[in-house]
Structure 1
């Protein structure tokens, strides 16, 4: 899905120079599209400044900017429904999630889950919402899940976790210092760690036994039209689907024992 250029420009505004602010204001006023030569003359700025502006908002050149600009203008004219826009965004997110899929990684993730009954889920902010979903799913197949969301409790849990327990860390951005410290502590205690993040360069990755790469949000999505926990939830759904396929017999035995206890 192509990003709305107006939202893209607004999301970068705090990083603009005074010249770039002028270029941004021109486009946000939704004037008719111009060539780079005419725009340079109209705004009294250099063509190199316009090119730098394009790179500042994550585009390669003015040609790409003008393409997205015209597309965004046309979309406004077409007055697409909110439903169509959100459906397209979810489809794009699902497609990006699928491109990261590795069955070997998913199977390794599931194997560690299968080997441990007690699981500590570390997630702060919106990542903690994914923890509630994880707890609901895996409690149904015999796991004891603790969702831990505040910094002090996360560090304390890492200090007291045993090597026969498991830690799952969810951090979409993968740049959290407290989670990093907790993972280092748990690693020293030989506690296995699973990580879900969208940051393939995250400082957390070296301290995890298995890392699932979630889809990253575009700048437009990160402004709030997509709930930020969705990429993590997609990965957890994939894990759960694979888990009940790999360990169907063990799950069936646990469900049978539960039924006996309730008689």
Structure 2
């Protein structure tokens, strides 16, 4: 479903049940697999609203117009996954096909691989950067954004208040305007968060990130992206197979980072 569907879901969770926008969201989600083929006239008829109202709606979720909205839906439907990651299997798909027993064996190997290869020295460096910077943000996309949200709450328990935004459009706006005193921590298993124009299908580094004066940390399994000079603090983890359990591994990294941060705080008391 990618970004088109997730923007709809985010608006669904932040609008009143009886609002016109909520009704449009429900109709679009019911027809999520057909969005690329539905003209603005057809969609307006399905939603029982005017074309102008539909045009205003898609702008509220970050698209220039209905054509761009439909182009996104078409591109996202066409691709099987992030560029270079097409052969990776998500954990739930593997479990569905092969069962829990087989997956748990892979997970055990993944945990061994994780502990063998995680760079604890870099984790400590990032923890020190978190301590130094007053302004710290944590961003991700979809499942990784859930980890960023949990990270924000966990850091609040430690008296460190960081920012995050669920909407990808808010994240982009922040990244475009942040100052040099900002530390940005990106959770992105594939590393693709740093590429393209927003979530469009481009392979280049986001141009506005090249201009940023802030420091960038990346928590990822993508070794090539982790080596990019833009990334000041690369936190690289690995998997033992092509089955990816990044929703679990990212949380392990998060907890390790918080523990290192607590040590830094204690050392500076």
Into which bin does the TM-score normalised by the smaller protein fall?
0.5 to 0.7
In 2 relative to 1, CA 229–217 (structure 1 residues): closer, same or farther, beyond 3 Å? farther
Q: Is the 8 A contact 1:117 1:142 kept in 2?
A: no
Question: C-alpha separation between the residues in 1 aligned to 2:165 and 2:205?
Answer: 12
Tell me the equivalent position of 1:199.
Answer: 222
Tell me the equivalent position of 1:245.
Answer: 263
1:170 aligns with one of 158, 164, 187 = 187
Tell me the equivalent position of 2:172.
Answer: 155
TM-aligned CA deviation for residue 232 of structure 1: 1.3
Q: Is the 8 A contact 2:141 2:188 kept in 1?
A: yes
Query: Does structure 1 residue 208 correspond to structure 2 residue 231?
Result: yes
Q: CA RMSD in A?
A: 3.0
TM-aligned CA deviation for residue 186 of structure 1: 4.4
Listed one character per residue, the Cα deviations across residues 123-165 of structure 1 (whole Å, up to 9, x for unaligned) are: 0011111112211221122222222343321210012212222
For 1:43-82, list aligned pairs within 5 A: 82=100
**SS at 2:163's partner residue?**
strand
**SS at 1:202's partner residue?**
helix
Listed one character per residue, the Cα deviations across residues 75-101 of structure 1 (whole Å, up to 9, x for unaligned) are: xxxxx984x545433322211111222
Question: C-alpha separation between the residues in 1 aligned to 2:157 and 2:135?
Answer: 13
Q: Is the 8 A contact 2:185 2:218 kept in 1?
A: yes
In 2 relative to 1, CA 81–196 (structure 1 residues): closer, same or farther, beyond 3 Å? closer
Unpaired runs of at least 5, structure 1: 1-56, 59-79, 254-263
**SS at 1:208's partner residue?**
coil
In 2 relative to 1, CA 160–217 (structure 1 residues): closer, same or farther, beyond 3 Å? farther
Question: C-alpha separation between the residues in 1 aligned to 2:219 and 2:139?
Answer: 10
TM-aligned CA deviation for residue 196 of structure 1: 0.6
Question: C-alpha separation between the residues in 1 aligned to 2:262 and 2:231?
Answer: 23
Tell me the equivalent position of 1:101.
Answer: 118
Tell me the equivalent position of 1:140.
Answer: 157
Question: C-alpha separation between the residues in 2 aligned to 1:85 and 1:101?
Answer: 24
Greater gyration radius: 1
**SS at 1:196's partner residue?**
strand
1:229 aligns with one of 229, 238, 247 = 247
Question: C-alpha separation between the residues in 1 aligned to 2:210 and 2:131?
Answer: 19
| Higher normalized helix content (fraction of residues) | 1
In 2 relative to 1, CA 128–207 (structure 1 residues): closer, same or farther, beyond 3 Å? same
Listed one character per residue, the Cα deviations across residues 228-262 of structure 1 (whole Å, up to 9, x for unaligned) are: 31121111111112221232255xx6xxxxxxxxx
Unpaired runs of at least 5, structure 2: 1-86, 89-97
**SS at 2:171's partner residue?**
helix
**SS at 1:206's partner residue?**
coil
Q: Is the 8 A contact 2:191 2:220 kept in 1?
A: yes
In 2 relative to 1, CA 183–192 (structure 1 residues): closer, same or farther, beyond 3 Å? farther
In 2 relative to 1, CA 111–127 (structure 1 residues): closer, same or farther, beyond 3 Å? same
Question: C-alpha separation between the residues in 2 aligned to 1:212 and 1:203?
Answer: 7
Question: C-alpha separation between the residues in 2 aligned to 1:90 and 1:231?
Answer: 10
